[in-house]
Amino acid sequence: MFFSSTQRANRRKLLVFAGTFLALAVIGLFYSYSRPAIYRASARVQINPGAVQVEAAVSNGGTQGTNVPRSLLNELQVLTSRPLVKAVLEKMSDAQRDTASRLGADPVAALQAGLQATVAEGTDVVEVSSRGPDAMLAAMLVNELVVAYTAQLNDAYAKTSGTSLTHISDEVAQLTQKVQTQRRQMEDFRLRHNIVSFEREENEVLGRIKGQTEALNKAQEKLAITEGKLRAMTESAAAGRPTTSSARPNATLENMEQRASQAREELSEMSRGYTPAYLAINPHARALRNRLAELERQIVIQQQSSGQVAKSDQSSALADAREEVNAARDTVARMAQQASGNRGVLQQFAARFNEFRTLRDELAPLESLLRDATQRKARQEAGEATRRPSVRVVESAFVPREPWQPQYTRDAAIVLGGAFLLALLAMWVVELFNRVDAPPTWVVSQSSPYPGNSSYGLGYDARQDNVAALAHRMPLAVEYDGRATMLPPVIQPRELLQEELAAILTNASPAVLLFAHLLLRGVSPEDAVALRGSDVNTVARTLHVASGREDDDSRTAARDIPLDSSLHEVIVNTFKVTPAGDAQTLLGDANAKPVALSDLTTELLYAAHDAGVDQPGEVTPDALRHTCAAFLARQGIRMADLARTIGHMSATEVAIYSAMSPAGKRLGLEQVERLMSAVRPAA
């Protein structure tokens, strides 16, 4: 049987893929299902490890007990420890011990290796899990481990609590005996030396001595005062000044001086209101003068009498002051003698009192220790329930029905998927070395070098009119009956950007500006050069484009183009007035002489270069006309309406512009935008 090369290649691919896939799948599945099953049983347990009472020193002396919780992490280590696992294994049945013995030479270590205890974050719930080849053994190990741990925790707390309470009771008894002994010694010392209390003022000896000392100080102070008073009176008598003690007030003299002052003031008031002559005859004024004279005479007599009395009083005051000084000196001497006699008694009592205070200072720490020990004992007895540990099973372990590891179904799917991918890779490697290069094919019909569009020409978005061609020479092919026939390359003019068009129009001369505007309305370069002033109809607002020359291959049909405001403005600015007459051409120089198409093409290149256009050599009159046609084609215009706008088109041009049209319904000429943004009048 004869097989083509394609059939042989497909057969080889199938054999390589199937052989590789089956081999890898069999090996992988055999390894996956040959692994022993591991079962996992877990239980959730809420563990309260309890607390211990810790004594800490306080600032005011002594200690203060505080309940400090035990570490839960330490309890997890005990929960999975070897002694506890060994105790659980010894309590199991013979059948379970036989099963555990098959785990290895050291079954306790094997069981302990499969144990794990983890704490749920933020809680005191512990998950205890066991992994092993026997599901029943794993579940039983977890449950029995929790029971054994609970019993061990309670036993440890009972022993610790009883021992601690016994120690604190012994400490309280010993401290109580020491405090009582110290208090008896203090009481005997106090009674033997007649010490009333720890306050000095409350003791009789110290109180009496203190009173005598205060009386002596007051007597010395009084002596200093009397001596100073006597000294001052003696100096005043020697200087002839009245002493303070002798200057007794004289009420009669003060009364007369006050009456005399009133009389003088009244006479002064009358002298300011009356003349001296009137005052001399006024009875009241005369009476006031007589009364004032009499008062002044009596004041002089009274002052003389007071002076004699003051001298007598001064002598008696000095004698009294001397007697007072002598009495004060006797008192000070007597009290000083008594104070010197009590100095020895005071020193002896002070020594005994200091010894008594030393005994008290020695008793204070013992009392503080006894008080703290008593408080600790009371707190330990009262807080025993709060410190007691507890274990509560939230969820017991059950016998698992499905293995925890390995997951055979998942691993089988991974094996099959990996075998499939490796089979594809092996098939690709085999074909890489058995590939036969095919002859080149130049089928590019309905293709494009531009990204985003599978049709000939550029990708087009109906919302954009600013798209430029990236290539201008593309091969075309026609496929017929399965065979591709190459066509000659098509020279496609460059499609300009709207920004490039605006820059070219800005830098163009008047004639080139009008020429460019005509090309951007779809007028061919030959027809634009042939236009005359008579072709401009300002009434109908149209521009008549006649057919081309008879010997021209690019002959176009006669048509009328709307004379928009922008084009009309360019014509008016070029000729200053609307052109008229058959002889005047639209594209003429200052002497109305027609301008050659080659000259206009050259000046268009000048404008493109001055505008900074990339590759200005591609800016030709055909490029401007092609830009106008592409703008209309991408809006979905009908080809017949496009021909009425730009004139006659060849089959190749129709194919190009048809490929540019977007999919969907075709639009008429009145439904599309005829003017590009570069030539549209400014708003």
Asked whether residue 331 falls in the same domain as residue 426, the answer is no
Q: What is the pTM for the complete model shown?
A: 0.35
Q: Considering only CA atoms, which of 342, 359, 617 is closest in space to residue 493?
A: 617
- CA separation for the pair 291, 280 (Å, rounded): 15
Asked whether residue 308 falls in the same domain as residue 418, the answer is no
Joined together, the tokens standing for residue 328 give: 């004060």
Q: Which residues pair with 392 in a beta bridge?
A: 46
Q: How far is CA 267 from each of CA 98, 170, 254, 257, 280, rounded to the nearest angstrom?
A: 147, 108, 20, 16, 12
Helices 135-192 & 94-101, crossing angle to 10 degrees?
100
Asked whether residue 501 falls in the same domain as residue 420, the answer is no
Give the residue-averaged pLDDT of 487-514.
83
- Tell me: the pLDDT tens digits for 26-35? 999 999 888 8
Asked whether residue 333 falls in the same domain as residue 414, the answer is no
* Residue 446 pLDDT grade (very low, low, confident, very high; cuts 50, 70, 90): very low
Give the residue-averaged pLDDT of 645-654.
87
Q: Considering only CA atoms, which of 589, 464, 597 is closest in space to residue 519?
A: 597
Beta strand extents in 439-557 (DSSP E only): 473-474, 477-480, 483-486, 490-491, 536-537, 542-545
Q: Is residue 595 part of a domain?
A: yes
Asked whether residue 281 falls in the same domain as residue 411, the answer is no
Please report where in the chains the tokens 């007028």 appear, as a residue. 523
Helices 565-575 & 510-519, crossing angle to 10 degrees?
150
Asked whether residue 602 falls in the same domain as residue 541, the answer is yes
Asked whether residue 340 falls in the same domain as residue 212, the answer is yes
Joined together, the tokens standing for residue 173 give: 């008894």
Indicate if the pLDDT at residue 418 is higher than 90.
yes
Q: How many CB atoms lie within 10 A of CB 463?
A: 5
Residue 55's pLDDT is: 54
Which sign does the torsion angle of CA 132, 138, 142, 145 carry?
Answer: negative
Q: Is residue 410 part of a domain?
A: yes
Asked whether residue 538 falls in the same domain as residue 421, the answer is no
Residue 634's pLDDT is: 92
Residue partners of 98: CB distance under 8 A and separation at least 6: none
Q: Is residue 264 part of a domain?
A: yes
User: What share of the chain in percent tops pLDDT 70?
Assistant: 73
Q: Is residue 375 part of a domain?
A: no
Q: What mean pLDDT value characterizes the chain?
A: 76
Residue 448's pLDDT is: 36
Q: Is residue 458 part of a domain?
A: no
Cis peptide before 406 (omega within 30 of 0): yes
- CA separation for the pair 638, 623 (Å, rounded): 21
* Residue 207 pLDDT grade (very low, low, confident, very high; cuts 50, 70, 90): low
* Residues 171 and 371: beta-carbon distance below 8 Å: no
* Residue 461 pLDDT grade (very low, low, confident, very high; cuts 50, 70, 90): very low
Fill in the amino acid letter for 47: I
- Tell me: the pLDDT tens digits for 299-332? 888 777 666 555 556 667 777 777 777 777 778 7
Indicate if the pLDDT at residue 215 is higher than 80.
no
Asked whether residue 349 falls in the same domain as residue 413, the answer is no
Fill in the amino acid letter for 143: N
Q: If you write DSSP's letter for every residue of 146-167 in order, what string do you get?
A: HHHHHHHHHHHHHHHHHHHHHH
Q: How many CA atoms lie within 13 A of 98 on its CB side?
A: 3
Q: Which tops the pLDDT comparison, 147 or 338? A: 147
Which of 311, 329, 354 terminates a domain? The answer is 354
Residue 478's pLDDT is: 39
Residue 647's pLDDT is: 85
Give the residue-averaged pLDDT of 186-196.
72
Q: Which tops the pLDDT comparison, 441 or 390? A: 390
Q: Is residue 218 part of a domain?
A: yes
Fill in the amino acid letter for 655: A
Joined together, the tokens standing for residue 529 give: 């050069």
Residue 344's pLDDT is: 61
Residue 623's pLDDT is: 93
Asked whether residue 534 falls in the same domain as residue 628, the answer is yes
Q: Which tops the pLDDT comparison, 111 or 67? A: 111
- CA separation for the pair 440, 486 (Å, rounded): 12
Asked whether residue 417 falls in the same domain as residue 509, the answer is no
Indicate if the pLDDT at residue 534 is higher than 50.
yes
The number of distinct structural domains making up the chain is: 3
* Residue 165 pLDDT grade (very low, low, confident, very high; cuts 50, 70, 90): low
- Tell me: the pLDDT tens digits for 356-385? 778 778 888 888 888 887 877 777 666 566
Give the residue-averaged pLDDT of 411-416.
92
Q: Which tops the pLDDT comparison, 27 or 431? A: 27
Q: Is residue 678 part of a domain?
A: no
Asked whether residue 345 falls in the same domain as residue 219, the answer is yes
Indicate if the pLDDT at residue 444 is higher than 70.
no
Domain span at residue 418?
5-35+406-433
Distance of CA 345 to the CA centre of its chain: 79
Q: What is the CATH number of the domain that holds 657?
A: 1.10.443.10
Q: Is residue 572 part of a domain?
A: yes
Element (H, E) at 392: strand 390-395
